[in-house]
């Protein structure tokens, strides 16, 4: 596709001058350019504004942005860079390129890169952007099933010579997680492509398969359904779990490393990564206690992993209650993957109308909004108010965040 009009200096200047305009009102105006519509201009403004926060490496001049849905579905720069750590080799294949954010970072240390995308406009945008950024790849506009089927057939024409290679160091894919009615899907057989149907084919063309999945999918279910998972990464950004990443290796590699490693990370925070073997949680045990001087709240990547006993054993912490995933200690421990609060127990009668707190409710009958209404409290301030339950019953804790 020809993007020369959109990247012309006049239009790029106009886009930059209107980054903070009301885009709803702008859509009602007539385009100041006879050969580029106002809709196209607004889309580029939206894309650039999204890029400033989500993938700032694309804020340079000459970049083209796709429709909103493609921007929303694309990984952020921080998650893509994290996933790319320690990846290198000769050949990289992305079967679901999309806007190409993951591919850009994951493929940086590979000699030969192939990107598959069934949307012709989207793959053209990616090809244009990569050339603008000085990166090379084989850009193929094709459905991934057709591409995989084609790997079985002898290819003679020059355009399909890439298929003759038939082997890649790493294959990456991000299956579509919504149906035609835009309903989210979480079972493997409901994804597009169905991983259960193509898993054997993927193993035949790559030593390592990397799959991005919804953060809502169940980890135990994945392990029971997919063969040869060696690692699962639970990736959160500022305590919001964004995705699960599966690392699937060939049978020889899995034989060497029989247990599955789970890695929990909370990006854009100062919290350390936490890793463990999946089966270790089955044998780990927690001790329980009422709240002591310090309270530990695991980040959401840890909670997603369900490692409630390993956390207790690993850090020497007491758990408040079997159903309260908070931990406590008399002396502060460091390097904890979550928030650490210094606490004191208080009575409800000590609460004063209008006081400001950051409210937390865990394993407690009332939700934060209900607590705020009942005790006439306001949001904000420098202190936390934690409503929870320990082995001794309900507790109200006044807390402040500790320094590192």
Tell me the CATH number at 224: 3.40.50.150
Element (H, E) at 131: helix 120-132
Q: What is the DSSP string of 248-282?
A: EE-HHHHHHS-SPEEEEEEETSSPPPEEEETTHHH
- Tell me: do 51 and 111 sit in the same domain: no
Asked whether residue 303 falls in the same domain as residue 353, the answer is yes
Query: CA 323 → CA 177, 301, 315, 342, distances in Å?
Result: 31, 18, 19, 21
Domain that holds residue 42: 9-65
* Averaged pLDDT for residues 160-187: 73
Residue 2 lies in a domain: no
Any domain includes 4: no
83-101 pLDDT, tens digit each:
999 999 999 999 999 999 9
Is 110 in contact with 92 (CB distance < 8 Å)? yes
State residue 158's pLDDT score. 43
**β-sheet bridge partners, residue 393:** 390
In a domain, 279, yes or no: no
Q: Is residue 221 part of a domain?
A: yes
Instruction: Identify whether residues 322 and 244 lie together within a single domain.
Output: no
| CA pair distance 387, 113, nearest whole angstrom | 52
pLDDT of residue 99: 97
Residues 265 and 139 in one domain: yes
345: Cβ–Cβ under 8 A, 6 or more apart, which residues?
291, 395, 396, 397, 398
In the chain, what are the helix, strand and coil shares in percent, each to the nearest 5?
35, 30, 35
Residue 183 confidence class, pLDDT cut points 50, 70, 90 = low
pLDDT at site 154: 45
Same domain, 221 and 81: yes
| Exposed/middle/buried for residue 225 (C-beta within 10 Å: 0-12, 13-18, 19+) | middle
- The reply to whether 53 and 135 lie within a common domain is no
3-state secondary structure of 368: helix
Q: Tell me: do 53 and 87 sit in the same domain.
A: no
| Domain boundary, last residue among 65, 81, 103 | 65
The residues facing 318 across adjacent strands are 287, 328
- In whole angstroms, what is the distance from residue 237 CA to residue 269 CA? 8
The number of distinct structural domains making up the chain is: 3
Pair (50, 85) in one structural domain:
no
- In tens, the pLDDT along 244-262 reads 999 999 766 555 557 899 9
* Predicted local distance difference test score (pLDDT) of residue 172: 97
Provide the mean pLDDT of the chain. 91
Whether residue 262 is found in the same domain as residue 315: no
Cα distance between residue 312 and residue 234, in whole Å: 19
- Same-domain pairing of 231 and 315: no
In a domain, 293, yes or no: yes
The last residue of one of the domains, among 65, 84, 110, is 65
pLDDT value of position 404: 55
Question: Is residue 278 in a domain?
Answer: no
Distance linking the first and last C-alpha atoms of the chain? 52
Average pLDDT over residues 46-65: 95
pLDDT category at 2 given cuts 50, 70, 90 is: confident
- The band of 180, judged by pLDDT with boundaries at 50, 70 and 90, is low
The reported pLDDT for the residue numbered 227 is 82
CB count within 10 Å of CB 161 equals: 11
Q: What's the pLDDT at 254?
A: 55
Q: Are 194 and 153 in the same domain?
A: yes
| pLDDT of residue 155 exceeding 70 | no
Q: In whole angstroms, what is the distance from residue 336 CA to residue 295 CA?
A: 11
State what percent of residues in the chain have pLDDT above 90.
Answer: 82
392 and 265 within one domain: no
- Crossing angle of the two packed helices 38-54 and 9-17, in degrees rounded to 10: 60
> Whole-angstrom Cα distance, residue 84 to residue 82?
5
């Amino acid at each position: 596709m020809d993007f020369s009009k959109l990247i012309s200096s006049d239009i790029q200047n106009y886009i930059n001058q209107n980054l903070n305009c009301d885009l709803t009102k702008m859509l009602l105006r007539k385009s100041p350019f006879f050969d580029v519509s106002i809709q196209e201009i607004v889309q580029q403004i939206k894309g650039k504004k999204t890029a400033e926060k989500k993938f700032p490496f694309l804020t340079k001049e000459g970049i083209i942005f796709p429709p909103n849905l493609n921007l929303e579905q694309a990984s952020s720069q921080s998650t893509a860079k994290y996933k790319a750590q320690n990846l290198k080799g000769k050949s990289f294949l992305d079967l679901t390129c999309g806007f190409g954010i993951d591919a850009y970072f994951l493929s940086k240390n590979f000699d030969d890169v192939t990107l598959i995308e069934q949307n012709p406009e989207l793959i053209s945008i990616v090809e244009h952007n990569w050339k603008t950024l000085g990166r090379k790849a084989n850009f193929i506009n094709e459905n991934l099933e057709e591409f995989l089927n084609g790997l079985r057939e002898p290819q003679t024409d020059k355009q399909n010579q890439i298929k003759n290679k038939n082997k890649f160091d790493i294959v990456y894919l991000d299956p579509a997680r919504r149906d035609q009615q835009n309903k989210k899907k979480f079972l493997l057989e409901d994804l597009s492509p169905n991983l259960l149907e193509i898993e054997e084919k993927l193993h035949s063309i790559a030593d390592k398969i990397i799959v991005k999945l919804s953060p809502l999918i169940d980890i135990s279910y994945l392990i029971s359904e997919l063969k040869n998972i060696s690692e699962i990464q639970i990736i959160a950004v500022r305590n919001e779990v964004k995705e699960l990443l599966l690392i699937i290796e060939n049978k020889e590699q899995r034989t060497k490393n029989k247990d599955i490693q789970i890695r929990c990370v909370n990006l854009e925070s100062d919290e350390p990564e936490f890793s463990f073997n999946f089966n270790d949680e089955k044998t780990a045990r927690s001790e329980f206690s009422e709240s002591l001087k310090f309270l530990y709240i695991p980040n959401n990547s840890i909670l997603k992993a369900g490692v409630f006993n390993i956390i207790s054993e690993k850090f020497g912490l007491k758990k408040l209650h079997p159903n309260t995933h908070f931990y406590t200690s008399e002396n502060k421990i460091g390097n904890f993957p979550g928030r650490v609060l210094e606490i004191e127990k208080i009575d409800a009668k000590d609460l004063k109308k209008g006081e400001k707190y950051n409210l937390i409710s865990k394993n407690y009958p009332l939700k934060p909004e209900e607590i705020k209404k009942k005790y006439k409290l306001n949001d904000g301030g420098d202190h936390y108010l934690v409503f929870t339950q320990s082995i001794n019953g309900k507790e109200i804790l006044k807390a402040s965040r500790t320094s590192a």
